[in-house]
Structure 1
Amino acid sequence: MASPLSRVNVRADAWELLWSFAHRVLAVNFVLAVAGSPLMLALGTVATPWKYPLFFGLLALPLGPAAAAAFGYLAIDDARPPLSALIRLVWVTGRRSLLVASLTAGLAGVLLADLKVLAGAFPAAAPLLVVLLVLVLNAGLTGLVLAGTEPALRLRALLRLAVYTGVRAWPLSLLSLGVLTAVLIIVSQVPVAGLATVPGCALWVVHTNTNAQLARIRNPPAR
């Protein structure tokens, strides 16, 4: 009896595209797991991590350079770029991406603290603080993509472009944040399976969204 798989008619280039995607996702997941291992160990040890935001915020900072390198790795025009290329990108983009991640984490921490303090005393200020927090997260995420894919871009220009992109093409920015939020929920529920599969796929979605945002800004539709 013939195998059901023998009836599957898939072109060779489609299989090559599939294996290339799987290769990149696995490589990205590996680097993210290494960068986030101290954070995951601490989260597994401390029962109430929200009581120590500074400590866990510092442990999360290495994920910034890892994510920026992953974005650069996903942009490489090669079917199966070697893992050494991803590790080299961590080294090359590490300084700028760490600055972007630190600035984003610092501003987000200030806004969350203000939201906690002012939400009860001045409820009208809460929506503004939430909007500012979303803008900061959007700009930080776009900044990491630019840090990994635009090495010639100066830091000041990178930050300006990241802020403008997040505001100008906000629907895709919200989609990227929603995807990352879903990843955090999945990883918190099934850590091993979640870390092995979803982070790389999520960063691919973010990378694709950011490319679409930048293309829309650089080549606006004719009216």
Structure 2
Amino acid sequence: MNALRRISHESYANVFGVVYLGLMTNALLLVASLPLVVLLVMTDPARSWPLLAIAAPFAAPGVTAAFAVFREHAAGSTSVARDFVRGWRATWRPAVALGGMLSALVVVLLVDVRFFSDSPFGVVAIPFLGVLTLLALGIGLLAFVAIAEEPGARLRDLLRASAWLAVRRWYLSAVSLLVLAAQAALFASLPAIAIGIAASAALYLAWANSRFTLRPVLAIEDTKTA
């Protein structure tokens, strides 16, 4: 009976820890990316996209900080707020730089898609630009996870490794992008649920998958991911 009670208590503590991890990470992520979230909720993205492109890079450190929280949680830490702040401080410079490059590249590609939409070359150009956009997003996601794992590494080296693995393990990158696409769709219809409940779950799945993808180039030990 005592053993059953002990197991039950441990299970309850694990569930509570996971719930706390998710809710606290969501709250901190919201604070770290508040300007971008406000623009997405209060404006029409089709018209406010220049402001969104400017705000997006400054939300990137919140994402890398969330990834750092997941890494520390996998190693046994329970200090979500402290790990988030430490992750933000350690990664904000490369995260903003990467976010700026990714935002600019995606804007250029999407503007090109709009340009070719009324052109006879669109049937060839648009699918090609679409693939480039997805590839850029896949590389960017891997690079954000790599920054969280190795904040002191050169961004150039992380991008090179991410590009190689995004192409070599494209099926894993596709899974991560599908998860984030589902999160974006949820945000478009139910932003409160997407931000308050689902954001950390989607990011955790993308982080775990991307971390596995990066194993050949990063010194990642086998740790529990739940």
| TM-score band w.r.t. shorter chain | 0.7 to 0.9
Q: Is the 8 A contact 1:29 1:197 kept in 2?
A: yes
In structure 1, runs of 5+ residues without a counterpart are 1-6
TM alignment of 1:130-209, pairs within 5 A: 130-209=130-209
Is the contact made by 1:61 and 1:98 (CA closer than 8 Å) also made in structure 2? yes
8 A Cα contact 1:17 1:79, kept in partner: no
Aligned counterparts of 1:43 and 1:151: Cα–Cα separation in 2: 29
How far apart, in 2, do the equivalents of 1:196 and 1:52 lie? 24
Deviations 1:50-82 (A, max 9, x none): 123211121222221100111111001124124
What is the distance in 2 between the residues matched to 1:209 and 1:160?
19
The code of the aligned residue for 1:130 comes to G
> Which residue among 78, 81, 86 is the counterpart of 2:79?
81
| CA deviation after TM superposition for structure 1 residue 11, in Å | 5.0
Summarize deviations over 1:6-51 as a string: whole Å, max 9, x none: x9996554444333322221222112211232223233433x3212
Q: What is aligned with 1:113? A: 111
Q: TM-score, normalised by structure 2?
A: 0.85
Q: How big is the alpha-carbon RMSD for the aligned residues of Structure 1 and Structure 2?
A: 2.3
TM-score normalised by the chain length of structure 1: 0.86
1:15-34 equivalences under 5 Å are 15-34=12-31
User: Which residue does the alignment assign to 1:4?
Assistant: none
Q: State whether structure 2 residue 75 is matched by structure 1 residue 61.
A: no
Q: Distance in 2 between matches of 1:197 and 1:112?
A: 30
Q: Percent identity of the aligned residues?
A: 26
Instruction: Label 1:52 to 1:70 Cα distance change in 2 as closer, same or farther (>3 A).
Output: same
Partner residue in 2 for 1:99:
97
**Secondary structure, in 3 states, of the residue corresponding to 2:78?**
coil
Out of 31, 34, 38, the residue aligned to residue 37 of structure 1 is 34
For the 8 Å contact 2:57–2:97, the answer to whether it is kept is no
Q: 1:55 to 1:30 in 2, by over 3 A?
A: same
**CA separation of 1:211/1:30 partners in 2, compared to 1, >3 Å: closer, same or farther?**
same
Q: Please report how far the alpha carbon of residue 170 of structure 1 lies from its aligned counterpart in structure 2 after TM superposition.
A: 0.9
Q: Distance in 1 between matches of 2:22 and 2:180?
A: 15
What is the one-letter code of the residue matched to 1:98?
V
Structure 2 spans left out of the alignment, 5+ residues? 220-226
Q: Secondary structure at the match of 2:118?
A: helix
CA distance in 2, matches of 1:15, 1:44: 36
Counterparts of 1:60 and 1:151 in 2: how far apart (Å)?
A: 20
| Distance in 1 between residues matched to 2:160 and 2:216, nearest whole Å | 16
TM-fit CA distance, 1:213: 1.0
